Structure formats: structure tokens, C-alpha cells
């Protein structure tokens, strides 16, 4: 059932580095007649600290986010990874805490953006762009924690002028892994180098993902190597190709 309003949790990476992707996600929702609430002061889902085992710090940050989204409305997140953190790991993070029930209730309201667009809103898209070849990078957490696969691919398939050239190793990690990329820079660099090579061999002009953190990594490496392909968040790509001008 379509709710009259939703919360939007933009994520810190989108807020700082890919704000257009966040705005595009908001516009896609608004076009379907949904009122989008963007609580100011939201920061981070707390995944970096959680994954590194600094759970007290993660809880403190998560607690602030939960308080900013009090009403019983869906919390739409344009990131499979951050959505996975909030949906699946908040209950674990708050186990035994006084506010455990609130965390569980919040987690139950978290939805990834493309899943919301497809499964709740049943979005139909009209492609207004020219012919373009893109490739798809499935973020690991989106794919394996949130089961994100059919929805983004289904949305892309609605765009008549877009050809998707698959990566050879679509399901393989790009090497970001949060602090992994700076703790083990050599391994991470080797992984992202392979991903870049895969993007280049696909012949795509754009590499799409539903996770901005992967795009930060892949995009930075594409730029460093001077490759022609650009990184773009799926939401931004969908919005740019379908909005009425």
C-alpha cells in the first residue's frame, strides 16, 4: 500500500559526495505522489564503527538517527549497504539496551530506495534519453543483505534506450569495505583495479550502482586511471533519463 509520506535517510556518503543522487531519489518518490520528509541533522547509519567493532560509538550515532525518524513511516534509504545496516544490524547493536524495542521498530521500517520504488510504488518509467550503454555493479551488502537484484535491474530494463553490458564478475566486491580500504590498501587497490578493468572491458560509458560508497571507490579508481566511464548512482541515472524537461 502506498503511504502518503516517507522519511528519506540520505546517508553520509550521498550527503557529502553524491547529493544529486539523493535528490534524484527524492524526486523519483515525489513524482509518484509521495510526500518526502528529510529530517535535518541526520548523519550516518553508524556502519563504519559497527563493522570495526566499536559498538558503543556506533550505538551512540545510531540512537541519534532513530530519534530523528519517530513517526510510523517508511524510512527510504538510497543505499543497500546503509539500509542493510539499519534493517539487519540495529536490532543486534541494541540487543539488551533499554531502547532495544525502539531500534527493532525502526529497523522494521527501513526500506532500500529501489525496492521501495518497485515493490511498494510499482513505478513505471518512460525513457526520455538517447541510446546509452551502461554497466551494473551490485554492491555486496545490497545484494547479499538486502537481496537487491531484481529491483534495480527491473528498473533499468524499463529504459528502452539503455543497453546494460554486464560485468564479467558482477557479484564480486569492488574492494571498498569501509575501513578495509585503508587498513589493507594493497589488497583493496588490487580489487578495485580488477573492477575498473572489468568496467572498461564492458564498453559501458557509465557504471551504475545503488551504493554511493562503491561508486566513490570505483569512480576514484576510474578517474585515477583515466578511464572514460563515469560512476553514477542508479537513482540519479533513472531521474535524469525520465524527468520531464
Partner 1 sequence: MSAETGSTDFHASSSKALLDPSLRANFRRAMDGLMAKRAAQFPDPVEWDALRTLAASIRARTLAKLPALLEALEARCTANGIRVHWAETVDDANEIVLGILRARGAARLVKGKSMVSEEMHLNDFLEKNGVESLESDLGEYIIQLDGETPSHIIMPAIHKSRQQIARLFGEKIRGAEYTEDVDALTATARRVLRRKFFEAEAGVSGVNIAVAETGTLVLVENEGNGRMSTHVPPVHIALMGIEKVVEKLEDVAPILTVLTRSATGQPVSTYLNLISGPRGPGEKDGPGEVHLVILDNGRSRIFADQEVAATLRCIRCGACMNYCPVYTRVGGHAYEAVYPGPIGSILTPQTEGLAKRHDLPHASSLCHACVEVCPVKIPITQILVTLRKESAHASPEFLVKGAGGGRDRLEDLAWWGWRMAHVSPLLYKAMSLGLRVFGPLLKGGAGPLKAWTQARTMPRRAPRTLHDLASEKGLPDA
Least distance from partner 1 to the Cβ atom of residue 53, Å: 3
Q: Determine how many CB atoms are found less than 10 A away from the CB of residue 169.
A: 11
232, 236, 242, 243 alpha-carbon torsion, rounded to 10°: -140
Q: Label residue 41 left, alpha or beta by phi (over 0 means left) and psi (-120 to 50 means alpha).
A: left
DSSP label at 60?
H
Question: Which is closer to partner 1, CB of 162 or CB of 237?
Answer: 237
User: Coil, helix or strand for 227?
Assistant: coil
**Residues at the contact surface with partner 1, assessed by CB under 8 A:** 8, 10, 12, 14-20, 22-23, 26, 35-41, 43-44, 46, 48-55, 57, 60-61, 63-64, 92, 140-141, 144-145, 171-173, 175-193, 216-217, 220-221, 223-224
Least distance from partner 1 to the Cβ atom of residue 74, Å: 15
Least distance from partner 1 to the Cβ atom of residue 86, Å: 14
List all residues 6 or more positions away from 174 whose beta carbon is below 8 Å from its beta carbon.
Answer: 137, 139, 191, 192, 195, 214, 217, 218
Least distance from partner 1 to the Cβ atom of residue 220, Å: 3
Question: Which is closer to partner 1, CB of 46 or CB of 208?
Answer: 46
**What are the strands of the beta sheet with 206-209, ordered from one edge?**
162-164, 132-136, 206-209, 230-233
Least distance from partner 1 to the Cβ atom of residue 85, Å: 11
Question: Which is closer to partner 1, CB of 46 or CB of 159?
Answer: 46
Question: Which is closer to partner 1, CB of 134 or CB of 212?
Answer: 212
Q: Cα dihedral sign for 69, 70, 75, 80?
A: positive
DSSP label at 95?
T
Q: Determine how many CB atoms are found less than 10 A away from the CB of residue 49.
A: 20
Question: Which is closer to partner 1, CB of 48 or CB of 129?
Answer: 48
Question: Which is closer to partner 1, CB of 63 or CB of 127?
Answer: 63
Least distance from partner 1 to the Cβ atom of residue 224, Å: 5
β-bridge mates for residue 36, sequence order: 6
Amino acid at each position: 500500500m502506498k503511504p502518503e509520506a516517507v522519511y528519506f535517510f540520505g546517508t553520509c556518503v550521498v550527503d557529502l559526495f553524491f547529493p544529486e543522487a539523493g535528490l534524484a531519489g527524492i524526486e523519483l518518490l515525489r513524482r509518484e505522489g509521495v510526500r518526502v520528509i528529510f529530517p535535518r541533522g541526520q548523519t550516518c547509519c553508524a556502519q563504519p564503527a559497527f563493522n570495526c567493532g566499536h559498538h558503543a560509538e556506533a550505538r551512540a550515532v545510531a540512537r541519534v538517527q532513530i530519534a530523528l525518524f519517530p513517526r510510523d513511516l517508511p524510512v527510504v534509504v538510497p543505499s543497500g549497504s546503509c539500509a542493510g545496516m539499519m534493517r539487519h544490524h540495529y536490532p543486534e547493536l541494541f540487543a539488551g539496551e533499554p531502547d532495544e524495542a525502539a531500534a527493532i521498530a525502526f529497523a522494521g521500517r527501513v526500506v532500500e530506495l529501489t525496492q521501495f520504488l518497485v515493490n511498494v510504488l510499482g513505478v513505471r518509467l518512460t525513457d526520455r534519453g538517447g541510446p546509452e550503454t551502461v554497466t551494473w555493479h551490485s554492491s555486496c551488502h545490497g545484494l547479499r543483505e538486502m537481496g537487491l537484484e531484481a529491483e534495480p535491474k527491473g528498473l533499468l530494463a524499463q529504459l528502452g534506450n539503455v543497453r546494460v553490458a554486464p560485468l564479467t564478475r558482477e557479484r564480486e566486491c569492488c574492494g571498498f569495505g569501509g575501513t578495509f580500504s585503508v587498513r589493507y590498501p594493497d589488497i583493496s587497490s588490487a580489487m578495485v583495479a580488477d573492477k575498473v578493468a572489468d568496467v572498461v572491458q564492458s564498453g559501458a560509458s557509465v557504471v551504475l550502482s545503488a551504493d554511493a560508497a562503491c561508486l566513490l571507490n570505483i569512480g576514484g579508481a576510474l578517474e585515477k586511471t583515466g578511464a572514460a566511464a563515469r560512476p553514477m548512482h542508479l537513482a540519479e541515472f533513472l531521474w535524469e533519463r525520465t524527468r520531464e524537461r
